[in-house]
Amino acid sequence: MNQSTDRIKNVRAYAAQCLRDEAQALLDLIPQLDQHFDQAVEMMFHCTGKIIVTGVGKSGNIGAKIAATLSSTGTPAFFINPLDVYHGDLGVMTSNDVILALSNSGQTDELLRFIPAILRRNVPIIGMSRNPQSLLAKYSNAHITVKVAKEACPLNLAPTSSTTAALAMGDALAVALMQVRNFKPKDFAQFHPGGELGKRLLTTAQDVMRTNDLPILPGNMHLGEAIIHVSKGKLGLGVALEKGQIAGLITDGDIRRAMEKWQAEFFNKTVADIMTTHPKTVLPTTKITDIEAIMQQYKIHTVLVADEQKKLLGVVDHYSCML
């Protein structure tokens, strides 16, 4: 009973050791990167079909995650269980595809039985295992060695460091491919349209702009009356139009500064006397991420949305961009 109590008290130490072991296993992968990794990236980059990831057991679980990561970063991929190949799934494979096969030992029987079918179809194979002399390595066009000194499991039995290392190597492949493809945030958004990042990167000015009850002011309106319109607009600004086009912009800050400057003469001044004649405008198709960059660069809180002819379409403020 006392031994159990002592072990419970040491759970943080056990966890810390596990994390150290797995972290070291990842660092130990760096010297293992070689020309085979380069060749694998090149094969995947030039693949005109799909990357078909396969593996059995824990390797299969890791393979499914690698396939998902590749697909979300611009490399079409999916996972297939080699046990399902003999029940019709082989039909998804073409000579334009590339196989990424995972096996810790490189000798997994269920996986190796899948290899002849791949070879008959002339589909190139990228193998990933701890043994560069394994049968999987022998039949692979490129073999990525993922070898760990020991498992984080205290019995050195449960796949822990080895699965972490395989997952990290899959991430390394995906990241390398992203760099080769010059994969950008806008590309990432195309693959994640439902996520927060995708939403922000795909949303445009026309999606969030205010179009109703815009505070429109003629340039000859006296500032005393303009204050009322700016206040009712609840945007902290007023837009001056001339012949239907944007002529200028005044903000509540402009009004305050004008009151301090002219004092008693303030009410004799007009919108045209204080307006900014070249306010920042964006097209309705401008992404809100670009609008935020403009606001940050020029230290403003609002931009006007206009068409090519400078006709006012709406207003986007800082809060509109907070999706």
Is 205-321 the same fold as 2-183? no
Distance CA 165, CA 205 (A): 43
pLDDT in tens, 104-151: 999 999 889 888 888 888 999 999 999 999 999 999 999 999 999 999
| pLDDT exceeds cutoff 70 at 292 | yes
Distance CA 272, CA 144 (A): 69
pLDDT in tens, 262-284: 988 998 999 999 999 999 999 99
**pLDDT score at 195:** 56
**pLDDT > 70 in the chain, percent:** 91
Distance CA 223, CA 288 (A): 32
Residues, the chain: 323
pLDDT in tens, 169-205: 999 999 999 999 888 766 666 665 555 556 667 789 9
The residue that leads in pLDDT, 38 or 5, is 38
Q: Which residue is listed with tokens 């046990």?
A: 83
**pLDDT > 90 in the chain, percent:** 66
Of 132, 88, 137, the closest CA to residue 111 belongs to 137
Q: Which CATH superfamily is domain 2-183 in?
A: Glucose-6-phosphate isomerase like protein; domain 1 (3.40.50.10490)
**What's the mean pLDDT when you consider all of the chain?**
89
Q: Where are the domains of the chain?
A: 2-183, 205-321
Asked whether the beta carbons of 180 and 38 are under 8 A apart, the reply is no
Q: Which residue is listed with tokens 């296993």?
A: 25
Q: What is the DSSP letter of 222?
A: B
pTM of the complete model: 0.64
**111-135 CB burial, b ≥16 within 10 A, e <16:** bbebbeebeeeebbbbbbbbbbebb
The pairing of beta strand 302-306 with beta strand 312-317: antiparallel
Q: What is the DSSP letter of 195?
A: S
Q: Which CATH superfamily is domain 205-321 in?
A: CBS-domain (3.10.580.10)
Asked whether the beta carbons of 98 and 126 are under 8 A apart, the reply is yes
